[in-house]
Amino acid sequence: MANDDIWILGINMTKFGKHPNEDVVDLASEATLAALADAGVTMADMGILAAGNLMGAAAGIGQQLQKQVGQTGIPVFNVANACATGATAIRTVIMAIKAGECDMGLAVGVEKLSGAGMLGAGMGPAASDEWTPSGRLGAVSGLEGKLGTDMMPGVFAQVGMEYGHKYGGTSFELFARISAKNHSNSTLNPLAAIQKDMTFEQIMAEPMIAYPNTRAMCSANSDGAAAAVLVSGEKLRTLSKEQQRRAVKVSASVLTSDPYEEGCQILPNVNTLTRNAARQAYELAGIGPEDLDLVELHDCFATAELVHYDNLMLCPEGGAVDFFESGAPFRTGSTPVNVSGGLESKGHPIAATGIANIWEICHHLRGEAGPRQIEGAKVGLAHVIGLGSACGVHILEKSGL
């Protein structure tokens, strides 16, 4: 291993779902202590803490967490970056280790979201039928009045429909079948919020949220936390052989935002920044999408999964429908996608998701995923995207030590 290699030494997550008797500090502490135990280290070994929490970002979750798991005086970075919050916490720790400020650090993401309703609601409707830019919104505007919705189900419904109009082949049934794949996968994941197999007919019969996404095709708002301990390659060499064997290499860690495009001033562009992040990640890792053994991507809606097949270059441009129809993204396919059940089933406690997606990949690379194990998995990709917009892509590799 090179001196500048970064490794995940320990990682864990709580069960996602409803936790009425636990607050964000309880959940974050549970994930943190489990990740430290998984790594075989303590808070005294940490040189930095990056803690993500979106809905209560002003409260300083990192400092609150320290009071429960150990106050050691280390720098704390409280992170909020939409649905990419957890990935941003991971990226923050990686940058600190690469900068030589520490050799080990902790990233945590936590959220209480069960019963939150539709995310994006409550931003306020248009004041009138006519939208007029004014003040700061004249330069960087909100969505309301241009799209007719500022709610994520509507935005991602349009993203999927736009892809279908451009390339063809999409249908209500196709998106339902994507969702059915993920719901089937969830039955093998004991930490998923929803562990229920559903046929595509059942999914299509669910209440319509924003065509073509019914309720079962939408990510499940839930409570949960995830945490990861990261370590430098140099420090890892001083640890036990068992710690080295279970460590997972971070071959690429990339965070992007929207480049300027005229269109993204109107409709959030989840495509360009994801494609840019994927391209950078493959280059850093020295691999191509054909080398991936599994992918956890941000399927906040069934429509999102389809377009991200394309954005992550798992298929030729415009070929997402053919990619799905080939069976490639199924658990037994050539490039399994969202074997955890994805956000639609595993759940989506916003700040925890980016780390939870990485946890799933690590689980397979370590050979610890039980009945949903992708046999022989050596390389995986974890992806998250948050409107605003931010995209995190991490490529992970099995330890050869």
pTM over 0.85: yes
The pLDDT assigned to 268 comes to 72
Stretch 258-286: mean pLDDT, rounded?
88
The pLDDT assigned to 151 comes to 74
- Angle, CA of 38, 345 and 220, to the nearest 5°: 105
Among the residues of 208-334, which ranges form H helices?
233-236, 241-246, 272-285, 302-311, 320-325
For residue 50, pLDDT over 50 is answered with yes
The pLDDT assigned to 51 comes to 98
Yes or no: is domain 6-116+222-251 CATH 3.60.20.10? no
The pLDDT assigned to 55 comes to 86
For residue 319, pLDDT over 50 is answered with yes
Rounded CA separation 246/260 (Å): 41
Which tokens is 258 given?
Answer: 């929207």
Rounded CA separation 348/344 (Å): 8
- Angle, CA of 275, 358 and 184, to the nearest 5°: 90
- Structure confidence at residue 149 as a pLDDT band (50, 70, 90): low
Mean pLDDT of the chain: 91
For residue 382, pLDDT over 90 is answered with yes
The pLDDT assigned to 115 comes to 74
The pLDDT assigned to 152 comes to 82
Residues involved in catalysis:
83, 348
Helix (H, G, I), strand (E, B) or coil at 249: strand
pLDDT in tens, 162-198: 999 999 999 999 999 999 999 999 999 999 999 999 9
The pLDDT assigned to 29 comes to 98
Q: Do domains 6-116+222-251 and 152-218+252-398 have the same CATH topology?
A: yes
Who wins on pLDDT, 140 or 317? 317
Who wins on pLDDT, 275 or 142? 275
For residue 133, pLDDT over 60 is answered with no
Helix (H, G, I), strand (E, B) or coil at 50: strand
Domain limits of the chain?
6-116+222-251, 152-218+252-398
Nearest to 383 by CA among 51, 71, 84, 63: 84
Q: Are 355 and 247 within 8 A, CB to CB?
A: no
For residue 144, pLDDT over 60 is answered with no
The count of residues in the chain is 401
The pLDDT assigned to 118 comes to 56
For residue 375, pLDDT over 90 is answered with yes
The pLDDT assigned to 59 comes to 75
Rounded CA separation 369/353 (Å): 18
Yes or no: is domain 152-218+252-398 CATH 1.10.10.410? no
pLDDT in tens, 155-166: 889 899 999 999
Stretch 221-240: mean pLDDT, rounded?
97
The pLDDT assigned to 127 comes to 46
The pLDDT assigned to 388 comes to 80
